[in-house]
């Protein structure tokens, strides 16, 4: 165990961090520093780097709130980022040392929202198992609506009817680098009206992220008679096309705009991608489901996966010492 050491992330480690993310077995572009730091003014970064004999073997994207660490409140998912060569024993020792490091820094609690398995390059659920050993508390479980493109289901009748309405109204769909039209004319007004809320990303932030990650962030808009009526913002990773934002104007059901858009995305743009992830339909910290939204997603053949959120007491790190026999 003396071979392992922990370093808190500093800007001078950016290249090492990003290179590790690029070759990791369970990371996505959300873990690159340019993505993590677009909202650095909102979070106190406490990301950690795990070394074995001076070789980087794991990362923990994280922020600090008092005596608690979160991985990561500004990201959709988090947890330990691992190399493709990581074996179970290495992950075990890395996590033990990381928790011990936090405990000795008077950090009492580590919160992890797991990376859904569809985002893994290869199997990577070591921490899921170790949470059981640590008696981690499951504090939330969200659902994701996901299409497996290797096992597609047929669209429902209601979704097919929506697509026909879109054809009748001669809607057009375009990929664009212009986010402003969708943000200002569709997304922001809808969120403000329905939820009195703002998008997670401001227009300036999504434009910045698009510039930094042009191959991962994409905007698709739907037009009727030259006017935008709907759109979707896609976050693309190696295995997954994820709908970060979906929104349409008040005529979306009459026009079939969102049905046509997602038929186009699923069957033409991302048909070779292993998974199409609509994201969650949960409300109230996972305790409720938006029934209408879930029904709509399942109409495209999406089915349910889960994402777990855990609370870990760092003082329990010693429980990991007795795992291997």
Find tokens 């001078």 and name the residue. Answer: 12
Q: At what angle do helices 126-133 and 88-104 cross, to 10 degrees?
A: 50
Largest CA distance in the chain: 69
Q: Which residues pair with 302 in a beta bridge?
A: none
Residue-range domain boundaries for the chain:
4-141+308-322, 151-273
Confidence of residue 60 (pLDDT cuts 50, 70, 90): very high
> Cis omega (within 30 of 0) on the bond before 72?
yes
Confidence of residue 204 (pLDDT cuts 50, 70, 90): very high
Residue 1 above 80 pLDDT? no
Residue 218 above 70 pLDDT? yes
3-class DSSP state for residue 307? strand
Measured on CA atoms in the order 313, 319, 62, 276, is the torsion positive or negative? negative
For the chain, give the mean pLDDT.
97
Q: Which residue has the higher pLDDT, 255 or 194?
A: 255
* pLDDT at residue 195, as a whole number: 83
pLDDT tens per residue, range 293-325: 999 999 999 999 999 999 999 999 999 999 999
For residues 261 and 171, what is the distance between their CA atoms, to the nearest angstrom?
9
Q: Which residues contact 214 (CB under 8 A, 6 or more apart)?
A: none
For residues 274 and 300, what is the distance between their CA atoms, to the nearest angstrom?
15
Confidence of residue 196 (pLDDT cuts 50, 70, 90): confident
Q: Checking phi first, is residue 194 left (phi over 0); if not, alpha (psi -120 to 50) or beta?
A: alpha
Q: For strand 172-176 and strand 81-82, is the pairing parallel, antiparallel, or unpaired? A: unpaired
**Could you say which of 3.40.50.720, 3.60.10.10, 3.40.630.30, 1.20.1600.10 is the CATH number of the domain covering 151-273?**
3.40.630.30
Question: Are 4-141+308-322 and 151-273 the same fold in CATH?
Answer: yes
Report helix, strand and coil shares of the chain as percent, to nearest 5: 40, 30, 30
CB 242 within 8 A of CB 233: no
* End-to-end CA separation in angstroms for the chain: 16
Q: What is the mean pLDDT of residues 244-260?
A: 97
CB 300 within 8 A of CB 155: yes
Residue 176 above 80 pLDDT? yes
CATH code assigned to 4-141+308-322: 3.40.630.30
pLDDT tens per residue, range 85-125: 999 999 999 999 999 999 999 999 999 999 999 999 999 99
For residues 41 and 53, what is the distance between their CA atoms, to the nearest angstrom?
34
pLDDT tens per residue, range 236-248: 999 999 999 999 9
* CB atoms closer than 10 angstroms to residue 8: 15
Eight-class DSSP state of 153: -
């Amino acid at each position: 165990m003396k071979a392992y050491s922990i370093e808190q992330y500093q800007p001078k480690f950016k290249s090492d961090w990003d290179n590790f993310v690029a070759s990791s077995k369970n990371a996505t572009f959300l873990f690159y520093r340019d993505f993590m730091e677009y909202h650095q003014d909102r979070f106190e970064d406490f990301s950690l780097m795990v070394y074995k004999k001076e070789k980087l073997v794991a990362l923990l994207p994280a922020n600090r709130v008092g005596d608690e660490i979160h991985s990561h409140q500004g990201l959709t998912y988090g947890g330990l980022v691992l190399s493709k060569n990581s074996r179970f024993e290495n992950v075990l020792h890395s996590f033990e040392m990381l928790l011990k490091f936090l405990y000795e820094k008077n950090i009492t609690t580590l919160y992890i929202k797991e990376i859904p398995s569809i985002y893994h390059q290869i199997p990577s659920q070591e921490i899921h198992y170790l949470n059981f050993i640590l008696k981690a508390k499951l504090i939330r479980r969200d659902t994701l609506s996901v299409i497996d493109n290797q096992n597609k289901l047929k669209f429902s009748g209601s979704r097919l009817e929506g697509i026909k309405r879109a054809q009748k109204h001669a809607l057009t769909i375009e990929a664009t680098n212009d986010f402003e039209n969708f943000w200002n004319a569709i997304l922001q007004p809808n969120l403000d009206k329905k939820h009195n809320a703002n998008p997670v990303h401001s227009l300036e932030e999504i434009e910045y992220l698009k510039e930094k990650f042009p191959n991962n962030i994409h905007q698709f808009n739907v037009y009727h008679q030259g006017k935008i009526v709907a759109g979707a913002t896609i976050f693309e990773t190696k295995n997954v096309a994820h709908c970060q934002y979906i929104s349409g104007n008040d005529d979306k059901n009459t026009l079939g705009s969102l049905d046509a858009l997602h038929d186009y995305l699923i069957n033409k743009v991302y048909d070779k991608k292993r998974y199409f992830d609509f994201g969650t339909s949960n409300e109230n910290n996972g305790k409720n489901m938006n029934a209408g939204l879930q029904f709509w997603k399942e109409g495209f053949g999406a089915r349910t996966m889960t994402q777990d959120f855990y609370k870990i007491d760092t003082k329990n790190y010693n429980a990991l010492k007795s795992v291997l026999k």
